[in-house]
Amino acid sequence: MRLAWLALVTVTACASIANLDEFRDVGAQAGGGADQGGADAEGGGGTHAGGGPVGGGGTAGAGGQGVTAYRDVILAGPGLVSYWRLGDSASTAAKNLIDSSADGTYLGDLTAHAGLVGDTDGATRFQPGNGKMVVGANKLDFFDSFANGGFTIELWFKPDLASGTLISLRADGATTWSFRLRLEASTAARVLFDLTVPNSDLVATLPMDLDETAQVHHLAASWSGGGESPAFQACLILDDVTKCGDENTASFSVPNQSADLVVGAEQNVILDGTQSHFVGVIDEVAIYTPMLDPAVISLHNQLGRMQ
């Protein structure tokens, strides 16, 4: 029944994709039946976890390299340029399934955690204070095309607090960054998609309400590319709810710069005097160029929750 449902979802959500047959077949054939899982969708307690720390000489959840329907659909989809599952390798390296030269490095206080997409693979818990995963600027050549081609950043997260940075790309300047996905609690908990205005420290921010913390969330942030308005569009898709750019973002474009990509923090002190560390679990970090079709993002959200 589950495989039949997956095939139906794939056909419905991806009808506009040229290689639909291949995409559907991967989704329908993967998954492995009811015994494929083992990790709770809310995190916690999965048998994948290696028991040791992710950073500081420990492991990132040895044995957590589960072959799943979710992973196979991501790998078969369009535009994927980098994919870090997090918590999969028994080392301090965050393996990139697309390009091993762009593996990241776990730094600081991190531990293994059950995968957030409910499968047998692992995830990474970012502890308070100093945990992060860093991919060096010399490993990110694909970012050079983002200013014109657009991009989508996708990940799953379970926050302990409504604060901290999920992912950021620092720009070449010491006080700016190209983009940042972060959480904050003002009048309500929010997810913020920040884009740096070219040649300045000004920031265009797209906010979206986060109804619940301590829950598993699927997040995608997209920028359409193409330079100035009206071609420009920035969108956030949180748990299958979409919000696109308003008057605060419609005239800005992302600078064409390559620097360190950081998950769970900011690389440099920028606006708030800290590295803005995220506290909670992050999993399944993927980057696509050009901007990913919203129907595909919807499929990923549904598939990650069904296993």
Q: What is the pLDDT of residues 40-98, one digit of tens each?
A: 333 333 323 333 444 433 334 433 444 578 999 999 999 999 999 898 776 788 999 99
CATH code of the domain in which 215 resides: 2.60.120.200
Beta bridge partners of 286: 83, 154
What residue has token string 């997040």?
A: 219
Separation of alpha carbons 286 and 27, rounded Å: 18
Residue 91 lies in domain: 2-306
Which residues are within 8 A (CB) of 277 and not within 5 positions of it... i.e. 6 or more apart? 126, 128, 129, 130, 131, 132, 164, 165, 264, 265
* pLDDT tens column, 5-47: 344 334 334 433 333 333 333 333 333 333 333 333 333 333 2
The confidence score (pLDDT) of residue 130 equals 81
Residues 6+ apart with CB under 8 A from 72: 26, 27, 29, 30
According to the model, what pLDDT value does residue 246 have? 55
The tally of domains found in the chain comes to 1
pLDDT at position 261 is 86
